[in-house]
Chains A and B, each alone.
Chain A
């Protein structure tokens, strides 16, 4: 069983489109995150949810909207995709705030 699973693994889309990435964790963790990894491998937090409540919202364009229907799921919706959105997006979860994360395998988004 995959602990943190993301779908899709690859996503190629045109500029201006709207797309979603889904994430599910079966670890019983209460906090979930979205991270963006750029072409230089730099990992930066975007959002964090604790028990469905948004607790971290870094400086991210409004085009990015996270949604957590329950504490096991955190989805990421992106409107009006731009070339600069191309990156690998990682979902992660943790048991306690401040603890180590378990990461998903990533979604490689390519905007053309």
Chain B
């Protein structure tokens, strides 16, 4: 399944499916992007990051794709598990004088059904 971020949409998938969460970022000067996972009652947790000189990066069961032309970021989760249920945020950083300031998207709620 797919979903578009920034408006807190909800994505429901079955256990074992692949999930795709999308994010449109706003600043063409952004050069560093991060995906975070936030479980209920907890702080955001780092999942994977990517720099602007790359268009794809893979982690364990997760892949981030970056399309700078259209300012689009996606997070793919393979073989989604119930423990993946959370709110997912993309974040961008413009570097330079931003001094580490991360600008977060609105988030996407992922619900995984057993």
Contact = CB atoms under 8 A, between A and B. Distances in A.
Interface string A30-45: 0101000000111111
A48 B101 contact: yes
A104 B32 contact: no
B104 A42 contact: yes
Interface residues of A, number: 27
B22 interface: no
B99 A45 contact: no
A56 B98 CA distance: 8
A55 B99 contact: yes
Interface in A97-112: 97-106
A50 interface: yes
Given A48-B99, A98-B95, A103 B43 contact: yes
Interface stretch (B13-21, B44-52, B68-76): B44-52
B108 to A, nearest CB: 10
Interface of B: 8, 32, 34, 36, 38, 41-46, 49, 87, 89, 93, 95, 98-104, 106-107
Interface of A: 4, 31, 33, 40-45, 48, 50, 55-56, 90, 92, 94, 96-106
